[in-house]
């Protein structure tokens, strides 16, 4: 039985890896993430893997009557480990530089479990949900799918060969039964335990079985050309279903996955594989050279993209810079192509003695394992960050980096106002800076205003410095002064004296922002629940919890006093809680629509949080001066 190379399958791989990269890049256009359905790329890969592995095993059994486990696992080792170990080695210096203690230990655990095909268990039990903010900073989270495939490679050949030898006429019944049972468990589990359902093999096996069932019919029943008159229509329908599922999962955020809905892309892949014969349009499309090249390097692309994105997010190197983001994609492609041609292809070359391959991989693997066990044993080498020695060990590394990235550098460099707009100067501390950031990141929505920020030293001995700032162009040109602080009675007195000397400017007083009960400035209320209390909950279902844990809000004594102070002086008073919470439903915001954290500590906004709150300010017309 001949092994004809299937270029259309490489085309499918190209579509799958394209979906995955666009999804994990978290590209935002006009406030929307158009590639939110891209995670179905994993499902496409699972179906392809089920089809190819079953085809390899059955073809060998049918043609020779036996099966070489040695040859099969040699091919898998050559395929999986060389590129994986390379990415692990290259990632280490970046992990050392950028990952704080807890995340560095998590990184080490993920490396160890990835090499033993058990990282899917590690990520489930360490409370990492794919796509959440914390997950975006875990360099090897994507290896959960390799672990599922590794478990499949170990178990499935034994089951299939045993069935072929002793129960051959029941193979299809067993495959279909496995498909139905696994799909049913996935549907139920996606509602009751979405994390385990996402990560574990028992709820993914049906996707692999879909490919297996297809391979069985093609080999055992010779069904490849049975509906050849409809090949064009059915292969096109399959491709349509794949792209349709991409948009379905984009438009309906609350769909469970994997579940019955995931049948749409799975059926689509099966139709494309089965009916894309030589003369079909879909075969010709998927055999385009650029798609075939992308398909060939898809494994390297998959391995490199997630750690590259994770370290870039953690370091903030490309934040807000489109040129650097484009350069990042070029680097990803370059790394993947080099990895494919100089590592993947080299090690898969049958002329390279397998004993030598095994010796090299074992030596490198041992170095990787020892290195990562040392990271765990030495508690993440906390002394790497001399400037962070006093930070609580429970500090969430994500928050540290989110705090560093919260203010775009260009937002603090304004020296002159736009003469054709109402000139608004926000004066305050870090909470005032947050408010200015909300406007700056949404300036296209507030096109009749021009905003600037001026820091204010709120201590008595800083009067001279504050008076100097009154003489700057940005202050003199302003029409409106907006005062925003983490207020206390002393600050109200200081600002009262400061305002007395100001003439011909509209004054706006902003309430103190809501603060939430976290007992430490090192993490958010969300982190407290996820990391330390280990509670089972819906990541997106904590709005009422946030409301109940407000320490500072509209009815707090300081905000009431601030409101009275504004009223007595005829200043405009604006309450931040109007856009942060829903008082009627008793809910407060804590993540944006894409699941990004709004806060990185007890109250300060992340960049995504400032963007989100700026959108809400505009929507409810909160900042209305005329």
Cβ proximity of 224 and 235 under 8 Å: no
DSSP 25: H
* pLDDT value of position 31: 59
For 535, counting Cβ atoms within 10 Å of its Cβ (0-12 exposed, 13-18 middle, 19+ buried), the class is exposed
Helical (H) or strand (E) element with 345 = helix 345-348
Nearest CA to 332 out of 21, 95, 111 is that of 21
Mean pLDDT of 402-408: 80
Average pLDDT estimate for 401-408: 78
- What is the model's pLDDT at position 409? 75
CB 60 within 8 A of CB 345: no
pLDDT at 374: 97
pLDDT, position 130: 46
Question: 99 near 387, Cβ under 8 Å?
Answer: no
Task: Supply the pLDDT for residue 44.
Answer: 98
pLDDT value at residue 392: 52
Q: For residue 260, what pLDDT band results from cuts at 50, 70 and 90?
A: very high
Is the link from the previous residue into 258 a cis peptide, with omega within 30 of 0? yes
**Interior CA angle at 236 toward 232 and 242, to 5°?**
155
What is the pLDDT, as a whole number, of residue 4?
67
The arithmetic mean of pLDDT across residues 283-291, rounded, is 95
- Let me know: does 435 contact 425? Beta carbons within 8 Å: no
Helical packing angle, 40-64 and 205-220, nearest 10°: 40
The confidence score (pLDDT) of residue 254 equals 77
pLDDT band at 48 (very low <50, low <70, confident <90, very high): very high
Q: Cα separation of 510 and 482, whole Å?
A: 7
Tokens of 618: 């505009």
What's the rounded Cα separation, in Å, for the pair 332 and 49?
24
What does the block give as tokens for 188? 């139920």
**Residues near 308 by Cβ (< 8 Å), separated by ≥ 6?**
328, 331, 332, 335
**Residue 223: predicted pLDDT:** 59
Q: Which of 470, 338, 333 is nearest to 14 (CA)?
A: 333
Q: Kindly report the CA angle at 19 between 16 and 20, in degrees rounded to 5?
A: 85
Distance CA 163, CA 469 (A): 82
pLDDT band, residue 36 (cuts 50/70/90) = confident
Query: How many CB atoms are closer than 10 A to CB 62?
Result: 12
CB 149 within 8 A of CB 49: yes
* Percent of the chain topping pLDDT 90: 63
Residue whose tokens read 């856009």: 579
Which backbone phi and psi does 483 adopt, to 5 degrees? -100, 120
pLDDT digit string, tens, across residues 513-543: 999 988 666 678 877 766 555 444 445 568 8
Q: What confidence category does residue 1 fall into, taking pLDDT thresholds of 50, 70 and 90?
A: very low
If residue 518 lies in a helix (H) or strand (E), which one and from where to where?
none
DSSP string for 54-121: HHHHHHHHHHHS---HHHHHHHHHHHHHHHHHHHHHHHHHHHHHH--HHHHHHHHHHHHHHHTT-HHH
For residue 311, give the H/E element and its range: helix 298-315
Residue 227: pLDDT band (50, 70, 90) is low
Residue 344 has pLDDT above 90, yes or no: yes
Cβ-in-10-Å burial (0-12, 13-18, 19+) of 191 comes to exposed
DSSP calls for 369-400? HHHHHHHHHTTT-GGG-GGGTTS-TT--HHHH
Length of the chain: 626
pTM for the predicted model, two decimal places: 0.75
Count CB atoms within 10 A of the CB of residue 50: 30
When the pLDDT of each residue in the chain is averaged and rounded to a whole number, the result is: 88
Q: Who has greater pLDDT, 251 or 253?
A: 251
Contact 375, 105 (CB under 8 A): yes
Whether the Cβ atoms of residue 608 and residue 406 lie closer than 8 Å to each other: no
pLDDT at 5 over 80: no
pLDDT at 189 over 50: yes
Between 370 and 394, residue with greater pLDDT: 370
Q: What residue spans of 144-278 are helical by DSSP H?
A: 144-166, 171-192, 194-199, 205-220, 231-251, 263-275
Share of the chain above pLDDT 70, in %: 88
Measured CA distances, 598 to 136, 227, 612 (Å): 15, 54, 8
Count of Cβ atoms closer than 10 Å to residue 429 Cβ: 16
| Alpha carbon separation from 256 to 32, 190, 259, 442 (Å, rounded) | 20, 6, 6, 32
pLDDT band at 259 (very low <50, low <70, confident <90, very high): very high
* Contact present, 147 and 175 (Cβ < 8 Å): no
Q: What is the pLDDT of residue 279?
A: 85
Does position 626 have pLDDT exceeding 60, yes or no? yes
Cα radius of gyration (the chain): 29
Structure tokens at 48: 């392809």
pLDDT of residue 134: 59
The DSSP string of 245-305 is: HHHHHHH-TT--SSSGGGHHHHHHHHHHHHH--TT-HHHHHHT-HHHHHHHHTHHHHHHHH
> Chain-centre distance of CA 306, in angstroms?
9
What's the CA gap between 409 and 356, in Å, rounded? 52
pLDDT of residue 473: 87
Structural domains of the chain, with CATH: 7-377 (no CATH), 409-619 (3.40.50)
Q: Give the per-residue pLDDT at 534.
A: 45
Distance of CA 479 to the CA centre of its chain: 42
Q: Are 35 and 27 in contact (CB under 8 A)?
A: yes
- Does 582 score more than 80 pLDDT? yes
Contact yes or no for 527/396 (Cβ under 8 A): yes
pLDDT(316) > 50: yes
Tokens for 229? 């008159």
Q: Which helix (H) or strand (E) holds 469?
A: helix 463-469
Q: What residues contact residue 471 under an 8 Å CB cut-off, 6+ apart?
A: none
* 471 three-state secondary structure: coil
Query: 48 near 207, Cβ under 8 Å?
Result: no
């Amino acid at each position: 039985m001949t092994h004809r190379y299937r270029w259309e399958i490489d085309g499918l791989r190209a579509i799958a890896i394209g979906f995955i990269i666009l999804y994990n890049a978290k590209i935002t256009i006009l406030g929307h993430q158009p590639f939110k359905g891209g995670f179905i790329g994993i499902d496409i890969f699972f179906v392809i893997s089920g089809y190819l592995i079953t085809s390899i095993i059955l073809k060998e059994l049918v043609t020779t009557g036996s099966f070489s486990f040695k040859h099969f696992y040699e091919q898998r080792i050559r395929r999986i480990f060389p590129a994986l170990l390379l990415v692990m080695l290259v990632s280490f210096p970046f992990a050392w530089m950028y990952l704080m203690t807890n995340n560095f230990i998590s990184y080490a655990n993920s490396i160890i479990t990835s090499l033993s095909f058990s990282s899917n268990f590690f990520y489930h039990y360490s409370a990492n949900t794919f796509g959440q903010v914390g997950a975006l900073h875990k360099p090897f989270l994507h290896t959960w799918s390799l672990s599922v495939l590794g478990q499949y490679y170990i178990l499935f050949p034994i089951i299939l060969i045993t069935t072929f030898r002793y129960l051959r006429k029941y193979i299809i019944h067993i495959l279909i039964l496995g498909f139905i049972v696994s799909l049913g468990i996935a549907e139920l589990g996606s509602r009751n335990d979405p994390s385990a359902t996402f990560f574990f093999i028992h709820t993914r096996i049906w996707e692999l079985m879909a490919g297996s069932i297809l391979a069985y019919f093609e080999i055992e029943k010779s069904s490849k050309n049975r509906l050849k008159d409809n090949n064009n229509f059915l292969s096109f329908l399959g491709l349509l279903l794949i792209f349709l599922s991409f948009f379905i999962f984009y438009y309906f955020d609350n769909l469970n996955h994997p579940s019955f809905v995931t049948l749409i892309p799975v059926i689509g892949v099966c139709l494309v594989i089965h009916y894309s014969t030589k003369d079909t349009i879909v075969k010709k499309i998927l055999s385009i050279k650029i798609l075939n090249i992308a398909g060939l390097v898809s494994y390297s692309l998959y391995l490199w993209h997630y750690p590259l994105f994770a370290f870039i997010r953690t370091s903030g190197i490309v934040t807000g810079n489109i040129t650097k983001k484009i350069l990042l994609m070029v680097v990803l492609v370059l790394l993947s192509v080099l990895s494919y041609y100089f590592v993947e292809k080299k090690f898969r070359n049958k002329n390279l003695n397998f004993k030598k391959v095994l010796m090299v991989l074992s030596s490198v693997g041992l170095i990787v394992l020892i290195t990562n066990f040392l990271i765990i044993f030495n508690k993440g080498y906390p002394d790497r960050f001399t400037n962070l020695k006093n930070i609580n060990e429970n500090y969430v590394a994500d928050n540290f980096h989110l705090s560093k990235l919260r203010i775009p550098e260009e937002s603090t460099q304004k020296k002159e106002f736009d003469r054709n707009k109402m000139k608004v100067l926000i004066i305050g501390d870090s909470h005032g800076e947050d408010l200015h950031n909300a406007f700056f990141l949404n300036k296209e929505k507030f096109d009749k205003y021009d905003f600037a920020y001026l820091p204010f030293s709120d201590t008595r001995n800083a009067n001279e410095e504050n008076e100097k700032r009154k003489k700057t162009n940005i202050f003199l040109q302003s029409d409106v002064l907006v005062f925003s602080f983490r207020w206390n009675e002393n600050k109200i007195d200081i600002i009262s004296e400061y305002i007395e000397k100001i003439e011909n400017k509209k004054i706006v007083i902003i309430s103190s922002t809501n603060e939430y009960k976290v007992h430490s400035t090192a993490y958010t209320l969300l982190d407290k629940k996820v990391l330390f209390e280990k509670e089972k909950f819906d990541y997106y279902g904590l709005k009422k919890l946030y409301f109940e844990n407000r320490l500072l809000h509209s009815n707090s004594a300081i905000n009431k006093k601030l409101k009275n102070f504004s009223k007595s002086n005829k200043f405009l008073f604006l309450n931040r809680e109007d856009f942060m919470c829903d008082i009627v439903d008793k809910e407060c915001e804590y993540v944006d629509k894409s699941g990004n954290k709004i806060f990185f500590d007890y109250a300060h906004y992340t960049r995504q949080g400032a963007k989100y709150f700026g959108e809400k300010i505009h929507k409810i017309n909160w900042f209305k001066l005329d």
